[in-house]
Amino acid sequence: MKPLITFDLDNTLLNSDKAHVIAYQYALKKLKLKVLKDKEIYIHFGKPKKDVAKAISKSDDQNIIKKIGKYHDKYLWSKSYKLSKIIPCVEKTLKYLKPKYKIAVISNCSHKSIIKLLKGARLNKKYFDIIIGDDNVKHPKPWPDELFLAEKLAKENAVYHIGDSIYDIRAAKKARIKAIAVLSGHYTKEQLKKERPFKIIRYINELKYIL
């Protein structure tokens, strides 16, 4: 049996900030809330989607938070997913790993959003044996539910989880999986180091030297 490794999606495999930012800006506009600048939105990426909505709306109103998520998904699925891009060396790395490992992709966006973003970036979903979104579990990262589900579906314990955020590291540690942090997102090396991951790498293609 092949061992299992799991990957985060956004800012780990795909550069999808713009796709999400524009979708959130659309949601804020629809709700007649203050439309934030790009950086004011993407600094919250990596958190559970409800926490992102709460932060950018500055509201505790669950109805508003729910609607932001709904409008975000509507715009992402219909339009902004096309702005998603593959991070350099990702496809080459997946091709290298595929014969040796079962590969799962997990994300704090929905299952359908993952499929759409992969399509927009032209990254073939055939590289992934398992795809898990936040709507497939009760609690998304930093809880370990997505990782536990990946292990259940693979019938294997995951040996590594690779992601760009502190929430990836926290989820992996709770699941007792070695976390490999990659510096392709918005978190600095110092921020990631404080979470004590197994390794920190600059580029995704460094995985073949670790694994």
Q: Answer for the pair 157, 176: CB distance below 8 angstroms, yes or no.
A: no
154 lies in the same domain as 169 = yes
Give the model's pLDDT for residue 211. 87
Give residue 72's domain range.
17-82
Residue 41 shares a structural domain with residue 97: no
Same domain, 48 and 122: no
As a whole number, mean pLDDT of residues 42-67 equals 96
Q: Which of 48, 82, 116 delimits the end of a domain? A: 82
Query: Does 206 lie in the same domain as 171?
Result: yes
Burial (CB count <10 Å: 0-12, 13-18, 19+), residue 147 = buried
Neighbouring CB atoms inside 10 A of 63's CB total 9
Whole-angstrom distance, CA of residue 55 vs CA of residue 38:
14
Regarding whether 97 and 11 lie in a shared domain, the answer is yes
Tokens at 16, concatenated: 């999808």
The pLDDT assigned to 120 comes to 98
Instruction: Express each pLDDT in 56-100 by its tens digit.
Output: 999 999 999 999 999 999 999 999 999 999 999 999 999 999 999
Whole-model pTM: value is 0.96
What pLDDT band is residue 170 in, cutting at 50, 70 and 90? very high
Do residue 31 and residue 96 come from a single domain? no
Average pLDDT score over residue span 40-45: 95
Hunting for tokens 């590594």 — which residue is that? Answer: 160
**101 and 76 fall within a common domain:** no
Contacts (Cβ under 8 Å, ≥6 apart) of 86: 13, 14, 15, 121, 122, 123
